[in-house]
Amino acid sequence: MSLQDLENTIAKLPPDELAKFRAWFLDFDAAQFDKRIETDARDGRLDALADSALRDHAAGKSTPL
């Protein structure tokens, strides 16, 4: 199935089915994002960002949440 086919199918969904699809997709997309963050963290791709944030915090450049 092509992306265009998928778009056409989604566009034809009745409102209640579209709402179910939207909820499913939000959960699916969030899970994919979480997996990517976990992989990036495990592989060290976030280390430079974390080091920079820790340096900024130590230098007083952060604010309490």
Report the alpha-carbon distance of residue 20 to residue 38 in Å, rounded. 27
Judge residue 21's burial from the number of C-beta atoms within 10 Å of its C-beta, 0-12 exposed, 13-18 middle, 19 or more buried: middle
Report phi then psi at 25, rounded to 5.
-65, -40
Q: Give the pTM.
A: 0.70
How high is the pLDDT of residue 33?
A: 98
Give me the pLDDT at residue 18, please: 98
| pLDDT per residue as tens, the chain (65 positions) | 999 999 999 999 999 999 999 999 999 999 999 999 999 999 999 999 999 999 999 999 999 88
